[in-house]
């Protein structure tokens, strides 16, 4: 691989991945395709903008995607582009179907048409652990867990996963799917839990916590995620799904309290609000497969990563506006 298309790389995880790839593989050509919705931020790419090719465009645009493949001789795809905020999917679900399902299908179809059936060119589809639904107090998601999404967001991602794997089965394409736990780190949009709570705490505003804040998430530092995707891109097996988790299960309320403590703010700022519709209780990933097959393990302890993340936002407060 030399010419890699990275979709959605003006977003949170995609921009971290693009920066990671530029540093690790200076001989690769990264072509970034991003629609620049509200969640896309060109400043996320400031450190590497002169080392990549940026194209503003929609992954649903068949003609544009085809042109990009031909013009830049694309021989690898890492597909991040997606609508990802659960609350937004409850309010405007059709946008999620269009981008996450139709957009992914468009990329897969263009890949098939340009590369041909049975191609060895790599396509990595980035997805979420939310496709599995919710867990109770114990147990973990594995690659064999049933697909049972709870929100329009997770349903759209589950659909795109299945489409990607169907293109492997039907057209024998070199496609892998990754399902990650909640990411945190630099460049994340402030609609998400950790930067949102930092934003409010810095302003001494109330921090709204769904229900009693007892919902549990498995947190993965974004740089660790990038390393895992790199391994899947270069060594992942066709037709395989890889779960990527951080072994860092935390209750939402504990994360909020940790942020307040680090910022030296009172817990009186916490405000408990009505729970989200269809709010999954717990996510937790068993990453044994990617560990055994590709040698990946998360390197960042949550206690270290969250402090680095909070401090990064304090030093880059334009991301909190």
Positions annotated as catalytic residues are: 129-130, 153
DSSP character string of 34-79? E---TT--GGGGTTTGGGSEEEE--TT-HHHHHHHHHHTT--EEEE
CB atoms within 10 A of CB 90: 15
Both tokens of residue 307? 């402090």
**Spatial distance between the Cα atoms of 171 and 101, rounded to a whole number of angstroms:** 18
**Spatial distance between the Cα atoms of 213 and 252, rounded to a whole number of angstroms:** 5
Angle, helix 302-315 to helix 193-202, in steps of 10 degrees: 50
User: 119 — phi, psi (to 5°)?
Assistant: -65, 150
**Spatial distance between the Cα atoms of 158 and 156, rounded to a whole number of angstroms:** 5
Name the pairing type of β-strands 29-34 and 3-7.
Answer: parallel
Alpha carbon dihedral 127, 18, 86, 130, in 10-degree steps, equals 20
Give the bridge partners for 34, in sequence order.
56
Give the closest residue to 296 by CA, choosing from 240, 224, 239: 224
Which residues, 6+ apart, have CB-to-CB distance to 303 below 8 Å? none
Query: What Rg value do the Cα atoms of the chain yield, rounded?
Result: 19
- Residue 183 contacts residue 283 (beta carbons within 8 Å): no
């Amino acid at each position: 691989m030399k010419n890699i298309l990275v979709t959605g790389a003006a977003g949170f995880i995609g921009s971290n991945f693009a920066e990671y790839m530029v540093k690790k593989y200076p001989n690769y050509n990264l072509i970034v395709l991003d629609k620049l919705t509200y969640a896309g931020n060109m400043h996320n790419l400031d450190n590497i903008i002169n080392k990549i090719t940026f194209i503003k465009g929609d992954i649903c645009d068949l003609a544009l995607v085809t042109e990009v493949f031909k013009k830049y001789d694309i021989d690898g795809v890492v597909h991040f582009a997606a609508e990802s905020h659960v609350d937004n999917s409850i309010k405007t679900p059709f946008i999620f179907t269009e981008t996450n399902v139709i957009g992914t299908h468009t990329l897969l179809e263009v890949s098939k048409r340009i590369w041909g059936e049975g191609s060895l060119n790599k396509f990595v589809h980035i997805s979420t652990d939310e496709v599995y639904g919710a867990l109770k107090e114990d147990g973990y998601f594995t690659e064999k867990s049933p697909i049972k999404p709870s929100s329009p967001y997770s349903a759209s991602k589950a659909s795109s996963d299945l489409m990607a794997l169907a293109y492997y089965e039907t057209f024998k394409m070199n496609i892998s799917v990754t399902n990650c736990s909640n990411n945190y780190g630099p460049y994340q949009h402030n609609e998400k839990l950790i930067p949102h709570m930092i934003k409010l705490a810095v302003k001494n505003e109330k921090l709204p916590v769904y229900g009693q804040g007892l919902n549990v998430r498995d947190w993965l530092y974004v740089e660790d995620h990038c390393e895992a995707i790199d391994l899947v891109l270069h060594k992942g097996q066709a037709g395989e799904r890889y779960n990527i988790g951080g072994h860092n299960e935390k209750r939402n309320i504990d994360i909020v309290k940790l942020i307040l403590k680090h910022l030296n703010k009172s817990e009186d700022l916490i405000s408990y609000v009505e729970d989200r519709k269809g709010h999954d209780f717990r996510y937790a990933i068993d990453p044994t497969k990617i560990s055994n097959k590709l040698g990946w393990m998360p390197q960042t302890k949550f206690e270290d990563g969250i402090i680095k993340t909070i401090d990064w936002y304090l030093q880059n407060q334009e991301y909190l506006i």
